[in-house]
Amino acid sequence: MITENLPILLVVIPLLAAPLCVLLRQPTLVWGFATLVSWMVFAISIQLLILVLQDGTISYAIGDWAPPWGIEYRIDPASAFMQLVVAGIGAVSMVFAAKSVPHEIPERRIYLFYTMYLLCLTGLLGIVVTGDAFNLFVFLEISSLSSYVLISLGHDRRALTAAFQYLIMGTLGATFILIGVGLLYMVTGTLNIADLSGRLPEPAPRTSLVAFAFLTVGTSLKLALFPLHLWLPNAYTFAPSMVTAFLAATATKVSVYILLRFFFTVFGVDVAFFDLPVGDILLPLAIVAVFAASTVAIFQENVKRLLAYSSVAQIGYMILGISFATVNGLTAGIVHIFNHALIKGGLFMALGSVFLRLGTTQIDAMAGLGRQMPLTMAAFVAGGLSLVGIPLTSGFISKWYLVTGALEKGWWLVAILVVLGSLLAVIYVWRVIEAAYFRPAPAGAAQVKEAPLAMLAATWVLIGANLYFGIDSTLTVGTASRAAEVLLGLEI
Amino acid sequence: MNGAAIGAWDICLPVLLPMAATVLIGLTGRWPNLREAVTLITSGVLVYLVVGLIQPVFEGARPDILLFEMMPGLSIRFTVEPLGALFAGVASFLWIITSIYSIGYMRGHHEKNQTRFYICFAIAIGSAMGVALAGNMLTLFVFYEVLTFSTYPLVTHAGTDEARLGGRTYLGVLVFTSICLQLPAVIWTWYLAGTLDFTPGGILEGTASPELLGALFVLYVFGIGKAAVMPFHRWLPAAMVAPTPVSALLHAVAVVKAGVFTVLKITYFIFGLELASTLATGEFLLYAAAATILIASLVALRQDNLKRRLAYSTVSQLSYIVLAAMLANELAMVGGGMHIAMHAFGKITLFFCAGAILVAAHKTEVSQLNGIGRRMPWTMGAFAVGSISMIGVPPTAGFVSKWYILIGAFESQQFIAVLVIVASTLLNAAYLLPIVYVAFFKKPDDEPQPNSHRGSIGAAARAPHGEAPLSVVLALVATAAGTIILFLFPGSVLTLAQQIVASGG
Amino acid sequence: MELVQGLYNYWIAMILMMAGFYVVISRGNLIKKIVGLNIFQTSVFLLYISMGAVEGGTAPILEEGLTRFSNPLPHVLILTAIVVGVATTALGLALIVRINEAYGTVEEEEIHAQDEPA
């Protein structure tokens, strides 16, 4: 009974929990409740992944309305993998929130903060599990609206303008997606994603090509593909630490997932990559993203902003893998979604701890921090190395598949550019490491303590997972390559 | 398999032990004597462990352990084979001596942050062991990178701007070459062969056209920046800002030898001698190595700073080994393998002497060394022995390995290589012997030069000085003696080196 | 002519969309941006509703004699989209109120000018 209804529970539990938070009000109580919900969702997501890996794709008809008329929740290996990422990061960030949120959010707003967080979680999970194109838009807006609120709660007043900027860009992107979905409906008369793919006429008429264009641009806005990334650096920089960690690890990744869905499931690899020159457009954009964003990251003085730009660059790697449209390329893209979620989640959490103690994340203020906060900074170093793609970290696995994918296509130049990109990552990561370990603390700086246990634990869970999956990649690469095969239509 | 007596622990321990020791070193940081004791004991145990590994290798065993598999065909594994055993043996043995030396040096020189120094040193040695025992290219690459990063704090130990600048060059060149050239080469190899395991006879035969494999070979040789083939040699002179024990053990033995060791490994176990000798680019790389030998020697001639002169000498000597690898025949391989050990003893002696001079006399330039041999007879005596070994004159170790490389060159009929080796011998003599000469036969300068010396350092320099601290002298005499002993009894090194090629048979 | 007359509903939607989009990117006043955003979204609502229309069709009520009726699904969908649009507008305006409290202005350039030195 419960097992059958897991797909809907995954979404409904946090959705119903959100208003309950408003009723509870008392900050600690709300935190405990939200944490409980997050971990329950995480448990469900693990269960779902196991089910999908065992028995294949799960289809759940909402209200017993059979698809394609009713709304269908559909969990295939790709979505099972994504919902695990989202739920897992959500659960870990709640532990991190225990100390971080009371420090950064005024007490009277904390219950609202967690309400918004649970809504955001609902939206992100909904996007991943739904099999209905319009439903996807709705969930996208649920997650987006709540994330605008979350970002605006940052301590700096610039958080407000950042949230507003994101609201404008995000709404434009979401509306583009809405147009695309509408046009698809005009062509096919269905909104079910699986059904759509079968009903799109061949060769694609102009309407569906226009739909394709709207969907691509809209999603690219949401996933911050260069040059549509302008909202991201400010949003990540000024959002509360926990929000940055959570959103950086999940929101853009889920958008990448949407892109995958539209490209491969709806339109199919033939239309997207052979009839249309999508690969030829995404590939240069991705490479420019890697180089431009990494270069900008090198010159940042605020580490949070530095990592935000690094995110833009890393999204470039994901898109690069997708643009290959091969099993290895897609595997690289999907695995990097997972790995990067762990890396950035961990890094932003480490930074959150720094912010808690120092009250700033400026690189100069972090001088000599390696001695004062050894565990936090060690986590940062490990995450940074993974970002670069040093062997034995999960970042290496992604890069490995990416380069293999490029070599497989005979694109030597791309392979070389990928590693050159890592070199830029070395530089910006090294700047922080050099400050923290090889420069003395600035004169007159107060002695600070190591971060609280809860924050350290959360950070190290992500960093540890990131190291673990760098050593044993059976689970990640296995699931990702299955997802890639499903998306490419090689396995039903 | 055939290493039944060797358990998994025995293979992993040499790598893990130094890493584990860092914790103890860190904990005992407040009591220097205890801390140094930890270092010394660790190095002693390490030698014991390594000898325990070498023993079965002599008997033909090739202990092997697969730690874990990251993805199919991509694993972390250790395999003990003669070349690695040789490298591990040399590095671990010289670690003991260097530890003794650095105790005297670091204290005599009142260095700060000594705990960090010893911790990083231990990590560096541990990763050198990892490079030596690596069973596939990925494992080797991992430890290669750890070695790079763990030595950075050592290079910038002084904490001055100059040190940081040197450190940046050091890290920049090494990371650039390893990530942009070596890593693509590794992935490419995996893509072609489906494995990265070191297999005698190579794994690449027939996987791609000779032109592509040739390009891959170039990527490898230049990508292994630690082998310091020009133009990627600049990091080595830059690393000379480090304290002398670091220059001695890491930048004459562990780090640089890890580089040439990797070149030898790749030639023999990834490409295989047969394939390597037919590659079109082999010739080109041979000339690159030859050019490095000559140019670096010429540059060394013009260096007045003693350590920089030695650094360029190292650059040129490393290329002997690269040259030997490019000759791609068995005799040259034996020579190259032996030169790892032989050069190590000679060069570490020279660096020890340079450090001793710095500690005792506060002198860094060659032009200041007039008559110093009378005050520091032991030091300069050892320096003379080391120099002779560099040049390759009997009765020193350098002669033996050079001899093998030379006959290897004859066998391949690479007369340019022969010429280069001979010419560089002359150059070696030209940049090293004058130091010995002025030290012993020139009159000391009239010491008090009030204008050129200022402050306390000047005062210290003016004060009459004798030999360096006892532990320093002990260490450098020991390595100098080692140079001679290795000439008289090259047995074990030679056997190991010969087994490298025998194992392929 | 067919292109203009037959598809006039799309032309209107497109003109509205571009107008709204232009307002969003060209105006520095945050409130005007939100207005532009609203026009932009409204155009999409129109697009949806018009595509569900069937010539001569009535409201989709099952009754004797009624055989042609409009497709109800787009209407239902757009109802949801309108709700989303209202929520977005509300949130945007709320943010503007907060921005006005923090900066004392709702002009983008003046806000940037205030943040520059910081």
Q: What's the rounded mean pLDDT across residues C18-42?
A: 92
Distance (Å, whole) CA A140 – CA A144? 6
Q: pLDDT value at position C32?
A: 93
Q: Which of A290-294, B452-456, C30-34 has the lowest mean pLDDT?
A: B452-456
Query: Given CA atoms B246, B248, B250, B255 in this order, what sign does their dihedral have?
Result: positive
Q: DSSP letter at A26?
A: -
Q: How far is CA B31 from the centre of its chain?
A: 31
Contact in structure between A369 and A441 (CB atoms under 8 Å): yes
Assess if residue C41 is contained within a domain.
yes
Chains A and C touch (3+ CB pairs under 8 A): yes
Return the HEC string of B166-193: HHHHHHHHHHHHHHHHHHHHHHHHHHHH
Domain residue limits, chain B: 8-446+461-502
Assess if residue C59 is contained within a domain.
no
Omega before B434 within 30 of 0, i.e. cis: no
Domain residue limits, chain A: 278-485
pLDDT at B187 over 60: yes
Asked if the C-beta of C14 comes within 8 angstroms of chain A's C-beta atoms, the answer is: no
What does R_g of chain C's alpha carbons equal in angstroms?
20
Residue numbers of A between 353 and 412 with CB closer than 8 Å to C:
none
Distance (Å, whole) CA A383 – CA A400? 17
Phi, psi (degrees; rounded to nearest 5) at A72: -110, 135
Phi, psi (degrees; rounded to nearest 5) at A76: -105, 180
Assess if residue C39 is contained within a domain.
yes
Three-class SS state of A67: coil
Instruction: Quote the number of domains for chain C.
Output: 1
pLDDT at B2 over 70: no
Task: Provide long-range contacts, Cβ within 8 A and 24+ apart, for C51-59.
Answer: C51/A182, C51/A185, C51/A186
In DSSP terms, A130 is beta-bridged to A73
Q: What's the rounded mean pLDDT across residues B272-285?
A: 84
**With contacts defined as CB-CB under 8 Å, which chain B residues touch A388?**
179
| Chain A residue closest in CA terms to C18 | A172
Averaged over successive runs of 10 residues, the pLDDT of chain A (492 residues) comes to: 84 93 90 94 93 87 81 89 92 92 90 94 94 92 94 90 93 93 88 86 83 92 89 92 93 92 87 83 92 94 93 94 91 92 94 91 88 90 90 88 89 88 90 86 78 91 92 86 86 56
pLDDT at C98 over 50: yes
pLDDT at B460 over 50: no
Distance (Å, whole) CA A290 – CA A287? 5
pLDDT at B9 over 80: no
Q: pLDDT value at position B455?
A: 42
The residues of A whose Cβ lies within 8 A of any Cβ of B are 388, 390-392, 397, 400, 403-404, 407-408, 415-416, 419-420, 422-423, 426, 430, 437-438, 470-474, 477
Q: pLDDT value at position A370?
A: 86
Phi, psi (degrees; rounded to nearest 5) at A284: -65, -40
Q: Closest partner residue to B71 among A420, A438, A477, by Cβ?
A: A477
| More confident: A460 or B180 | A460
**With contacts defined as CB-CB under 8 Å, which chain A residues touch C92?**
164, 167-168
What is the maximum span of chain A, computed from C-alpha positions, in angstroms? 70
Q: Closest partner residue to A391 among B68, B145, B180, by Cβ?
A: B145
Per-residue pLDDT of B225-266, as tens digits, reads 888 888 888 888 888 888 888 888 877 888 888 999 999 989
Domain around C80: 2-54+69-115
The answer to whether ipTM exceeds 0.90 is yes
| More confident: C16 or A3 | C16
pLDDT at B501 over 80: no
CA distance B155 to chain A (A): 12
pLDDT at C46 over 50: yes
Q: pLDDT value at position B440?
A: 86
**How would you classify residue B202: left for phi > 0, otherwise alpha for psi between -120 and 50, otherwise beta?**
left
Per-residue pLDDT of B37-96, as tens digits, reads 888 888 888 988 888 888 888 777 788 888 877 777 788 888 888 888 888 988 888 888
Chosen from C10, C71, C73, C95 to mutate, greatest number of chain A CBs within 10 A: C95
Q: What is the CATH number of the domain that holds C30?
A: 1.10.287.3510
pTM, to two decimals: 0.86
Assess if residue C44 is contained within a domain.
yes
Structure tokens at C61: 């009520």
**With contacts defined as CB-CB under 8 Å, which chain A residues touch C21?**
172
Q: What's the rounded mean pLDDT across residues B24-37?
A: 84
| Chain A residue closest in CA terms to C115 | A158
Using pLDDT thresholds of 50, 70 and 90, give the confidence band for residue C30. very high
